[in-house]
Amino acid sequence: MHRFISALVLLLATTAMAELPPSAYEAMQAKAPEFLEVEILRVDVKPGNDRNEKKITLTARVAKAFRSATGVTEGAVITITYSEVNRPAGWVGPGRVPILQEGEKKVAFLEKGPKSNQYLPAAGAMTFQRF
């Protein structure tokens, strides 16, 4: 009985660190209105509204437009904005959208933001990589 309880506790602890399943990210990528390849020109990281939040603004040049609902074309310069929240150890939920570095070339699954030329991550933690 002791082994059973230990195994159950271990199983529950492992599931508590769960990430979204791959199918969820694949679905988000498939639904993203913008599927681009971008080169990061500038990265701005500023404090957010909460002490554990960062506001990220990426300035990127579109190297290739695989799919674009807004008509973005190669050579266009766009802004990608999002927040990152530092979660406590053991927090359960979707992964973070990574903070990219200047000069990186990445695919980007995006959606149009409320401001002119502003885009937002459309595939969570898998916004900047293909599944």
- For the stretch 109-119, pLDDT in tens is 999 999 999 99
CB–CB of 37/61 below 8 Å?
no
Q: How far apart are CA 1 and CA 80, in angstroms?
A: 53
DSSP 3-state assignment of 125?
A: helix
pTM of the model: 0.81
Mean per-residue pLDDT, 78-103: 86
The encoded tokens of residue 92 equal 């359960």
Q: How far apart are CA 33 and CA 35, in angstroms?
A: 7
DSSP 3-state assignment of 98?
A: coil
Name the least confident of 31-40, 55-64, 92-101, 118-127. 92-101
Domain 33-126 has CATH 2.40.50: yes
Q: Of 51, 45, 50, 61, whose CA–CA distance to 97 is shortest?
A: 45
Name the least confident of 5-9, 31-35, 56-60, 123-127. 5-9
Sign of CA dihedral 100, 123, 19, 129: negative
Residues whose CB is less than 8 angstroms from the CB of residue 98 and which lie 6 or more positions away in sequence, other chains included = 125, 128
Mean per-residue pLDDT, 12-34: 76
Q: How many CB atoms lie within 10 A of CB 86?
A: 12
Give the domain ranges of the chain. 33-126
Q: How far apart are CA 106 and CA 130, in angstroms?
A: 9
